[in-house]
Amino acid sequence: MTENRMPYPVRVDASMDAPSRALWLVKWLLLVPHLIVLVFLWVAYCVVGVIAFFAILFTGRYPRSLFDFNVGVLRWSWRVHYYGYGANGTDRYPPFTLHEVPGYPAHLDVAYPERLSRGLIFVKWLLAIPHYLVLAIFVGGGLWLGTRGGTGNGWDNGWTAGGGLVGLLVLVAAVVLLFTGRYPEPLYDFILGMDRWALRVAAYTALMTDSYPPFRLDLGGIDPGSVPAEPFGPPPMGPPAASPPYPAAPVR
């Protein structure tokens, strides 16, 4: 069935990368180096968010260098989440970089806004309350709702905890994978849709866009307005490019 879905400025892509039957049992240990780095990155993310708040208030613009840094933190977090217990969609170890890595099976980008509303920065947290109620179930129950901070760091705390419906479905998919060697595609599509919803709200409450997140579950790894994420393959030669644009996908 053809469905017209408008692209959102926060674009989240992923492609299934044939995770193994049992590696998920030890990913919690393999992810320790990333989690240590992410603690410091999210502290910096919050500080940058406060600076951006005042920059938008006085100039109506999000300083580009600060914007790119915070997008990079979201991108790094998404790759770790996708590898780990937020999706278990790949066994390819996440790279230690804020930049886009074309050869990795998980991608995130946020379109840079030339102008932002000065007034909305005071109420975005309030406008997002309906989304909080939905995501409290999706990504961590009361933990997500109770730890959320004004710059989006609470979303990361609850999201990476692997709780809520996402954590439960990933566990079910992992057990099925363990015994059958196959990741159930309907579960994968639904998990990616919930993760995408959470990332959109995170970017909105972090003042990266004035576009209100849609109340819809865009299933599967292809985000409306994006091309499919590149399949698993050897890493590209040379340094990764920062935030390459995705061409628009045809309407489905």
* Mean pLDDT estimate for the chain: 83
Instruction: Pick the more confident residue, 142 or 5.
Output: 5
pLDDT at 13: 93
pLDDT at 148: 43
Instruction: Pick the more confident residue, 96 or 145.
Output: 96
Taken in order 216, 137, 158, 24, is the CA torsion positive or negative?
negative
Q: Tell me what percent of the residues of the chain surpass a pLDDT of 70.
A: 77
pLDDT at 72: 97
Note the pLDDT tens digit of each residue in 134-185.
888 877 643 333 334 444 443 343 344 456 888 899 999 999 999 999 999 9
pLDDT at 155: 39
CB-CB neighbours of 71 under 10 Å? 24
Instruction: Pick the more confident residue, 165 or 47.
Output: 47
Instruction: Pick the more confident residue, 249 or 210.
Output: 210
pLDDT at 232: 43
* Average pLDDT of the residues in 58-71: 97
pLDDT at 18: 86
Residue whose pair of structure tokens reads 């390459």 in the numeric block: 244
* Average pLDDT of the residues in 199-224: 93
pLDDT at 5: 67
CB-based contacts of 89, cutoff 8 Å, min separation 6: 14, 15, 16, 17, 19, 82, 83, 105, 106, 183, 188, 192, 221
Please give the Cα distance from 212 to 120 (Å, whole number).
11
pLDDT at 239: 42
* Average pLDDT of the residues in 44-62: 97
**Of 17-21, 30-34, 129-133, 140-144, which one has max mean pLDDT?**
30-34
pLDDT at 195: 93
Residue 110: phi and psi, rounded to 5, are -125, 125
- The model's pTM: 0.81
Inform me whether the pLDDT recorded for 191 exceeds 50. yes
pLDDT at 135: 87
pLDDT at 227: 54
Q: Hey, which residues does 108 pair with through a beta bridge?
A: 12
